[in-house]
Amino acid sequence: MLAIAWASHPPAVAAEEQLPPFERVKTGSRPEGEWRHAGKYPPFRVTWLREPRLDGVAAVFPHPTLPQRVAAVAASGVLLSDDAGRTWKPLAEAAPQKLGSARHVAFDPASPDTFYLATDSKGVWATADGGKTFRPIGSKASGLAADAVLAVHLYPSDARLLTLLAIHGDAASGISLSEDGGRTWRVVSPEYHVWKLLCSGPDTHRLYMAASTRDKPDVRDILSCSCLGEPWYVVIRDVIPTDCTRTVLQGEVFWSTAESGLHVITHEGANFEKVGTAETTRLASLGATWGHTADSQLLYAYEPAKLGMIVSTDNFKTVSTYSQGLYISPFVREGAHLRANANGTVFYAVANGILCKGYRFDGPLKVSTVAVSPPAISFAPTAWQEGTWTLQRCLGVLHDQPYAAGVARMVARSARDIEGALSPKEVAVTAMAIDPRGKPKSVTVDLSRLGGSPRTPMLDDGQHGDGPAGDNVYGASFAVSPQTLLAHHPWGNDWRRPWPGPLGLTVTAVASDGSLSGAVGVLFFASRPEGFAFCGHGMHPDTRDPQGQVSIDVDTKVANPALSSASWKIAAAQGPWVLPLGNPYHHRDIAGLRTLSFWAKSDGKSTDDLAVQLRDQPDYSAPATTPPVGLVKDRVIDGGALTGQFRRVVIPLEPLLRRAPGFQPRLFCWLIFSSQGRAPATYWIDDLRFFPTKEELETDLRLSPR
């Protein structure tokens, strides 16, 4: 496979008129601007066909990153297709008599063969082998609010992808929550019957739901919360919500209703307004998908009684309808819905048990079957940045003989951290491009989001992962590096979503007459669960509202030069004191992390113990603090005593957090040191960090500071 070298300008692979046009658009992330598609692509059209092979279809669930994969729930059970519905494979182990009738399918975007089923009477089930086998992971006996589950969702802001949310409609109030992949469950928000749930995405903790309270079951509202565990507040009152979606580009959340039109929620739930036209007053379903390019999007809806499919390219300021061949009837049961595949080239509509498939029609030139391999990539930016910093620092002090052996071990460890921070490091894109008038002038893929050319060539020569030469399948492969990922991460006023999350790679074909056709390949960026240092190397920690006579400073004289550039020096007078360290605007997610570790020593003038606590910083509720852990009292320091030599402190997080049920680990913000202060004392703290696994803690080869 050929690794495409990065270029700041499109490579000269063809004459300019044979390549798709681009323009530079200034963004908040890059002052020089980003490449944006500027060509005129075909107007949206769709051709609908009824699926006669499936009976009693209740719902359809396209995979979020694989355009060809889709699951259908029918009277016979769950069926899976890996060719956009051209063929269907029944999942024998998901038959209703075994698992109950499935109501909802939730795919893991980072693991193609992992998905979860919500059933009407037998709880939640999971498969890790594409549906060959299933295992029960949630029931009322294991903590679900009820065995009747309306839907199950992965909480996308959990980098581990182990947090599951199950809702139950009128079967039970509350949201069933598992933070360990279904091993244990508990019920949160018990005052609400929840009918719809929308997790905003990996780049934000925010949630939305359509719910009614137990004392007013007939009144439904649309509510929001800033993070799982935060209080819910009403955004839109007394409506009948039917569906919801988040746009694929940065921006808004849309909700459709059965009688009060369409609403858009902006500014992270702070504002809402009614949008749309007369056609969008009564909608059964709503969604968003990519347009012809990763810089464009389609919003679509389903009005099955008369209009059929409704499509908008301008956030419902104007709409077009597409109904020919689509099932339409004035008598439609509840649950009719329309869904797009991962890149908006195939649509699926379900009403009254009938499934219709809609294929986007672009004209003679068509780009289809875009595939990204592998479909997901994981990145640990903190490990890469800290590994790079440590490696540079170690190489700078390697000549210091007393530390040479230890520093050499740290060099090897840092090199491994850097090497393993990104996986995999090469990605391939393939697509079929067919023009009955002859071969396209060019087929290219836009890699500008990854630091490459927006016109990276794709070839049909049998040498670029494209299969046999001349079969109209074009391919390209490219290397990915942490430097380019960080350099091209969108921020500020960018029109694109930041990662983690789905990243669109546009494949464009140019026909002999200059016309364009395009489709998007989806590469999912997963942020790998990783530990982190509480404060940057040598940085002075922020402190808020200390109690007693205590101060903190940075001491550069005691730090190990290979470990850090400075240690924290805490100086306390006689008397009890409390020192909170942190930043109220910088939350850190410690959900699922295993251990807090640091190095500590004292001046030996006091026998007082040093205690440590964690505190969260919610936006709309009072902060919670974990119980204090005494370094000596609770035996978490090596040797069992604070002395004049640095000793390692290891505090297990799971039992600590278990003793603080109100603590929100996703909103961790403050580290609190305290002491009874029976005598003046000075303490030094160094290399304070959180570890995700026992193995990483045990293999951490950092040297004890002096």
Averaged over 30-36, what is the pLDDT? 77
Q: How far apart are CA 685 and CA 307, in angstroms?
A: 67
What is the rounded average pLDDT of the residues 277-301? Answer: 94
Across the range 642-663, mean pLDDT stands at 93
What CATH number is attached to the domain comprising 663? 2.60.120.430
Q: What pLDDT, on a 0 to 100 scale, did the predictor assign at position 705?
A: 52
Give the per-residue pLDDT at 527.
85
Is the residue at 217 inside a domain? no
Which residue matches tokens 């490990």?
A: 383
Same domain, yes or no: 375 and 472? yes
> Of 389 and 167, which is predicted with more confidence?
167
Average pLDDT over residues 273-296: 93
Cα(618)–Cα(227) distance, rounded to whole angstroms?
Answer: 8
- Check whether 13 has a pLDDT greater than 50: no
| Over residues 91-105, mean pLDDT | 96
How confident is the model over 489-531, as pLDDT tens digits? 776 667 888 888 899 999 999 998 999 999 999 999 988 888 8
HSE-up of residue 629 (Cα within 13 Å, Cβ side): 26
**Minimum mean pLDDT among 4-8, 429-433, 569-573: which range?**
4-8
In a domain, 110, yes or no: no
Residue 694's pLDDT is: 82
Give percent above pLDDT 90 in the chain. 67
Q: Which of 25-34, 180-189, 447-456 has the highest mean pLDDT?
A: 180-189
Cα first-last separation, the chain: 50
In a domain, 108, yes or no: no
Q: Which pTM was predicted?
A: 0.90
**27 part of a folded domain:** yes
Tell me, yes or no, whether 577 and 660 share the same domain.
yes
Same structural domain, 539 and 670: yes
510 and 536 housed in the same domain: no
Q: Report the pLDDT value the prediction gives residue 1, as an integer from 0 to 100.
A: 32
pLDDT value for 599? 92
Has residue 95 been placed in a domain? no
Work out the average pLDDT over 159-181: 95
441, with CB counted inside 10 A (0-12, 13-18, 19+), is middle
For CA atoms 181, 106, 430, 384, the dihedral sign is: negative
C-alpha 315/C-alpha 299 separation (Å) is 7
Bridge partners, 32 (sequence order) = none
Closest of 363, 626, 628 to residue 518, by C-alpha = 363
Contacts of 40 (CB under 8 A, 6+ apart): 516
Res 701 pLDDT > 80: no
- Closest CA relative to residue 702, chosen from 555, 537, 569, 562: 562
Give the tokens for residue 306.
Answer: 């008369």
In a domain, 389, yes or no: no
Q: Is the pLDDT of residue 344 over 60?
A: yes
Instruction: Tell whether the model's pLDDT for residue 451 goes beyond 90.
Output: no
- Statement to judge: residues 452 and 474 lie in one domain: yes
- Domain boundary at 501, 527, 553, which? 527
Query: Which of 508, 527, 546 finishes a domain?
Result: 527
Does the residue 55 lie in any domain?
Answer: yes
- For 140, phi then psi, to 5°, come to -60, -35
Whether 549 and 647 map to the same domain: the answer is yes
Which tens digit of pLDDT belongs to each residue from 581-609? 998 888 899 988 999 999 999 998 888 99
Most confident of 8-17, 297-306, 561-570: 297-306
- What distance in Å separates the CA atoms of residue 449 and residue 489, rounded to the nearest whole number? 8
- Specify whether 451 is located in the same domain as 512: yes
- The residue assigned the tokens 């990519």 is 290
What is residue 435's predicted lDDT score, i.e. its pLDDT? 93
- With vertex at residue 62, the alpha carbon angle to CA 57 and CA 63, rounded to the nearest 5 degrees, is 145
Three-class SS state of 93: helix
Average pLDDT over residues 93-111: 95
pLDDT tens sequence across 467-496? 999 999 999 999 988 888 887 777 666 788
The CATH number that applies at residue 482 is 2.60.40.10
Work out the percent of the chain whose per-residue pLDDT is above 70.
92
Looking at residue 661, what is its pLDDT?
Answer: 87
Distance CA 414, CA 701 (A): 10
Do residues 456 and 536 both lie within one domain?
Answer: no
What is the extent of the structural domain holding 68? 43-90+239-361
| Tokens standing for residue 217 | 């079951």
Domain count, the chain: 3
pLDDT: which is higher, 41 or 697: 41
Residue 308: its pLDDT value, please? 95
Do residue 564 and residue 452 come from a single domain?
A: no
pLDDT of residue 10: 38
Q: Examine the pLDDT at 2 and tell me if it is beyond 70.
A: no
Burial class for 410, CB neighbours closer than 10 Å (0-12, 13-18, 19+): buried
Q: Give 413's pLDDT tier (boundaries 50, 70, 90).
A: confident
- Collapsing DSSP to helix, strand or coil, 406 comes out as helix
Contact 430, 400 (CB under 8 A): no
Same domain flag for 553 and 655: yes
**Residue 114 is assigned to a structural domain of this protein:** no
Average pLDDT over residues 603-632: 94
Mean pLDDT of 10-27: 68
Strand partners, 175: 188
Residues 375 and 347 in one domain: no
Closest CA to 518 of 3, 14, 22: 22
For residue 626, what is the DSSP state? P
The C-alpha atoms of residue 261 and residue 279 are separated, in whole angstroms, by: 9
| 665 SS3 class | helix
- Same domain for 449 and 541? no
> Kindly report the CA angle at 656 between 655 and 662, in degrees rounded to 5?
110
Residue of 271 and 1 predicted with greater confidence = 271
| pLDDT tens figures, 363-372 | 999 999 999 9
Query: What value does the mean pLDDT of the chain take?
Result: 89
Minimum mean pLDDT range among 4-18, 87-101, 129-143: 4-18
pLDDT at res. 17? 58
Using the predicted structure, report yes or no on whether residue 158 has a pLDDT greater than 70. Answer: yes
SS3 label, residue 448: helix
Instruction: Give the domain-ending residue among 527, 561, 576.
Output: 527
